[in-house]
Structure 1
């Protein structure tokens, strides 16, 4: 069975953030670029519950990983 594909807005919703495209752009602009040595889950702007969500999904090799990777790339533009 194929894993569901989640749009980037869904991860913002799951993290308790606004899923409005303008707010997503604002979040990424405000919090990027992250230094290359800072992992997404270690970024200082996450709450404990947001950090736990991101870690959980990675450990579980969850279907959220493509969206988490997309968010990571958006916050680490120098890695492209």
Structure 2
């Protein structure tokens, strides 16, 4: 079982996206602000598999949930 703490970088790797700090910051800037009525997993910029991963991570309160919540908060600003 993976017990390591996940970061935005490892989340982006898991989602198959460029994961360098500047790339993550660019992604957030490009897709912000996410409207409050749109759940993060329902945002139009995710692929079906990315959306499913985010939804499962939140629903299962997996070890990814905290960093998904962090990304959600960053996308709302």
Matched, 1:4 2:43: no
Report the Cα distance in structure 2 between the residues aligned to 1:51 and 1:66, rounded to whole angstroms.
Answer: 16
The residue that corresponds to 1:37 in the other structure is 37
Structure 1: which 5+ runs fail to align? Answer: none
Q: Map 1:58-73 to 2 at 5 A.
A: 58-73=58-73
The residue that corresponds to 1:75 in the other structure is 75
Report the Cα distance in structure 2 between the residues aligned to 1:45 and 1:15, rounded to whole angstroms.
Answer: 12
CA RMSD of aligned residues (A): 1.0
Q: Secondary structure at the match of 1:44?
A: coil
Aligned length: 75
Structure 2: which 5+ runs fail to align? Answer: none
TM-score by length of 1: 0.88
Runs of 4+ in 1 over 3 A off after TM superposition: none
Matched, 1:13 2:13: yes
